[in-house]
Amino acid sequence: MRKIKIVLSYDGSGFLGWASQPGKRTVEGEFKNGLKKVLPETQDFFVAGRTDAGVHAENQVVSFSSNISENFHESGVQKALNSAIPTDIFVKSVEFINGDFNARFSAVSRTYIYYLKHISKYSVFQRNYTSYFDKELDFEKIRKAADDCLGEHNFFGFSSSSSDSKTFIRKVLNIEFNGDSKSFTFEIKANGFLTHMIRLIMGTLIEIGAGKLPESQIKNILHLEKRGLTGKTTSPHGLFLQRINYET
């Protein structure tokens, strides 16, 4: 058996998230269907991060083992896979690797980038790749409040009730904003994320920026470790899994 690492991108618009669901179109389901056509015998399949319905990925990572012939080349596997999967998924690279690499457990951090615009800048051509809001925002309030997420905390209050996580402790390593109150990007890097965590954080920040929630609300939610105190869950459109880091 050979260990294989694959980096892929996908447009999440037409999928009900990453994870396979019976009778539903998912990224994992479509990718594995194509994988079976190219490499019928695989095992120990892992993904770096499971994305929600409508969320996109620039550089998702999967790993698995396969009883693959020594005559197969990485470029050949890449070409074959891209011929076997839908065009809204694309294999960017294939690497035969040694050692104990695991796409999920070897990752030390994940980075997401979120594209947001005021509804006055709405475009039908960007509706699947941008999250729109309709409030007038104090951008500096948002930037300042976001810093309260930095560090290691219990993010239970920023998780979905459908979350199946065994622990809600996560460490946010970096947050960056670019743009202004009408059009901006939000980049967040952490050792891991909970279901809807980023979208609940952003929904809360938007309410803070609009003056609907106090500037201390992020701190309050982290301290109380209680659901139901955030702003609304923002749209998955505009949220991209940007990169996975495997280096300490």
Q: Is residue 102 part of a domain?
A: no
- Residue range of the domain that includes 51: 2-97
CA–CA dist 59, 49 (Å, integer): 10
What pairing do the DSSP bridges indicate for beta strands 183-190 and 2-10? unpaired
Q: Is residue 103 part of a domain?
A: no
Query: Is 52 annotated as catalytic?
Result: yes
CATH number of the domain where residue 198 is located: 3.30.70.660
90 and 121 inside one domain: no
- SS3 label, residue 152: strand
- The H-or-E segment that residue 27 falls in is helix 27-38
Three-state DSSP class for residue 232: coil
Q: Residue 104: inside a domain, yes or no?
A: no
117 within domain boundaries: yes
The rounded percent of the chain whose pLDDT value lies above 90 is 92
- Same domain for 168 and 68: no
The answer to whether residues 93 and 200 belong to one domain is: no
Q: Is 202 helix (H, G, I), strand (E, B) or coil?
A: helix
Which CATH number fits the domain that encloses residue 90? 3.30.70.580
Residue 115 within any structural domain of the chain: yes
Yes or no: say if 87 and 15 are a contact pair by the CB < 8 Å rule: no
> How far is it, in rounded angstroms, from Cα 107 to Cα 242?
14
Q: Indicate whether 166 belongs to any domain.
A: yes
pLDDT band at 113 (very low <50, low <70, confident <90, very high): very high
Among candidate residues 97, 120, 141, the one where a domain is terminated: 97
Q: What is the pLDDT of residues 121-154, one digit of tens each?
A: 999 999 999 999 999 999 999 999 999 999 999 9
Residue from 11, 44, 52, 148 carrying the catalytic annotation: 52
Tens digit of pLDDT for each residue in 147-171? 999 999 999 999 998 877 889 999 9
